[in-house]
Amino acid sequence: MDLSSPLWYASYVIVLIGLAGFGFHRLCIVFLYLKHSRKHPVPREIFTDLPLVTIQLPVFNEMHVVDRLLDSVAKLDYPQDKLQIQVLDDSTDETTEICRKGVERLRAQGFDAEMIHRDDRTGYKAGALEHGTQFAKGELLFILDADFVPNPDVLLKTVHYFSDEGIGMIQTRWGHLNRTFNVLTRIQAMFLDGHLELEQTARNRSGRFFTFNGTAGIWRKSCIADAGGWEHDTLTEDMDLSYRAQLKGWRFIFLNEVETPAELPVDMDGFKSQQHRWTKGSIQVCKKVLPAIWKSKVPLYVKMEATAHLTSNFAYLLLICLCFLIYPNQQAAPDFGSWTIYVINIPIFFFASVSVVVFYITAQRALRPDAWWKELPYLPLLLALGIGMSINNAKAVIEALFNHQSGFVRTPKYGVGQMAKADWKKSSYKAMKTLTPVVELMFGFFFLFVVVEAAMKNNWLSAILLLPFPVGFFYTSLSSMARLLPSGRVPSDSTADNTTES
């Protein structure tokens, strides 16, 4: 069909309606949050005899942060005789020796600590957790990734909720150790704040399903066993186990008042690898558990919310389709007069774009009531980054749909709070390189042409609305390519195997 064909415009409108549908779901989350956020959970009772807790620390090539993690665990305000510490090490570099010395240091302080090292990394993080649970003495399992730094009172604020035998998991809200490190970490923090503060709180307190975030949460060991244990046929074993457990009738609690700080990826490649894994894993879980959800006896509103949650990353496919439809629509869109503006353009723009702004502003106001307005200048960049990540994440969706197998891609962590700001670039740890930045760069030039052409035709509204597209694609592509320059090049090292785990 040529550019004047109405099929171009019809396809364009259908894609926008799809994106608006996901935007409408965001507004539903905001509504549920505002309605239910004050329903703070309370423990059924307070333990007089605190339960034994096994702290599980899955580690893979984390030389920069593992000592910080072990030191923070040693400072937990919890009876030492009620703690077991498991370092589940799958490392292939000097991290293993650091872990060994760290465990010896904990033992010297009187802790029941052990290092469980695997040479066979079957199942990656899920496999390590599954293996370690066989030796766990506690009924409660507190899982922490290597880049987390738990606050000393985290256990005392959480374990009492397990006095209710029906509670299977408690998730705490992630904090951000390096939120202001650079522009990328600021935007990531806003993305995660929206997910953790709004989505998790709204889902949990309105009676919907919500999921374990992979770390900074406590599981009941019998809940894991009842749900079938850790399985590693998806890249998001946490989401998979969460849905299976809740379908078994276990209840979860999200404590947004309890914060567990962590380190955000500081470079674009690390962020991309993390997002690719999360996106691909969510679609894998969607294919795996969505039929079981609809066959279950849970209420319809729970099924609908779970469906919206599990299919939300299909929005990246729609966004890619939109990229190919924008230019034909700019060239030869049919003119239906004011009907087009008020019935199609404005409603779709509101649900597809304004809803995103409302969503993230609500999250910032909830978490930073006295300084939320300081995050407003980063909202345009948040929108641009979301667009720029569409190629990376759409690729992940397609891989999941066609059952393309890939490893558990590790997000490098540098312990940036413990070193000079530029020293992280010298680390041997780096994310996998792909051709995605080249494609993103081509998209950036294409949309720069579209924006300039719209401006030359005095179509300033279109030029302004389309500006996030070239900005986003140039940002994601050039940020990835920057590390290929001599100043950012990582020295070769025998520890370059970092293609797993976050």
- Could you list the active site residues? 90, 238
- Alpha-helical regions (H) of 333-435: 338-339, 346-349, 355-367, 379-388, 390-401
C-alpha dist (Å) from residue 499 to 51, 131, 279, 408: 37, 21, 17, 7
Cβ atoms of 439 and 391 closer than 8 Å? yes
The encoded tokens of residue 118 equal 């695997």
Q: Which residues contact 194 (CB under 8 A, 6 or more apart)?
A: 359, 360, 363
Q: Which residues contact 6 (CB under 8 A, 6 or more apart)?
A: 334
Cβ atoms of 480 and 417 closer than 8 Å? no
Beta-bridge partner residues of 252: 169
Number of helices followed by number of strands (H, E) in the chain: 19, 7
Q: Which residues contact 159 (CB under 8 A, 6 or more apart)?
A: 47, 50, 51, 53, 140, 218
DSSP string, 109-121: TT-EEEEEE-SS-
Cβ atoms of 389 and 439 closer than 8 Å? no
SS3 content of the chain, % helix, strand, coil (to 5): 55, 10, 35
